Structure formats: C-alpha cells, structure tokens
Structure 1
C-alpha cells in the first residue's frame, strides 16, 4: 500500500487501537511493514507545506 498523503502515520492495532508508534512517509511512497500482523496505518498529521503538489 502506498501513502495517499505525506505526513505522520500512526500504527494502529487490528481493532483500531492506538500503539503510540508513528512513521513519517512521503506521498506515493510505500508504507513500511508493521511490527505485527493485523496492524495498519492511520494518518495523524498531514504535511501542510504543499511540497510535491502538482501545478
């Protein structure tokens, strides 16, 4: 899966519980593997500087 937006992504548990771990990912780059099976990502702090946006 690739990141739809640049920013901070929090790793969440299989039922959506917070883990407190975050990763910084650039738009259209692949999200790194999660530490445990069943975990996923939720964007917590999108980048606000507009870098990488098309004209």
Structure 2
C-alpha cells in the first residue's frame, strides 16, 4: 500500500511519522487531526513510518 501524502490543514488519513517533502522536517501526525503547517511553502507531508501497523 502506498504511503499517504497530505497537505497542511488536510485531515491525516493514517497516524504515523511524516516528513516534509522539501525541508526533510519530521513530525508525528495523528489520524483525523489536521496536518500542521510545513516549514516551506508548497510542501506536503509524506508518511515514512506507520505507527498503526495491523497484525
């Protein structure tokens, strides 16, 4: 399954650790919450670690 990518302010589809696409800043985002602003204009958040793995 592809890792989710979200824009700032968009509801997060899956909890996990996300990295900004240009500045490489990392942040923990929670499912259902709005994604925080990114450090640079035009960036998105891309999930790098899924913290809700299903067994």
Q: Distance in 1 between matches of 2:37 and 2:21?
A: 12
TM-score by structure 1 length?
0.70
Gapped regions of structure 2 (runs ≥ 5): 1-9
Question: In proportion to residue count, which structure has more strand?
Answer: 1
Instruction: Number of aligned residue pairs: give it.
Output: 45
Gapped regions of structure 1 (runs ≥ 5): 14-18, 51-55
Tell me the secondary structure at the aligned position of residue 2 of structure 1.
Answer: coil
**Which 4+ residue blocks in structure 1 deviate beyond 2 angstroms?**
none
Q: Where does 1:9-24 land on structure 2 (aligned, <5 Å)?
A: 9-13=18-22, 19-24=23-28
Greater C-alpha Rg? 1
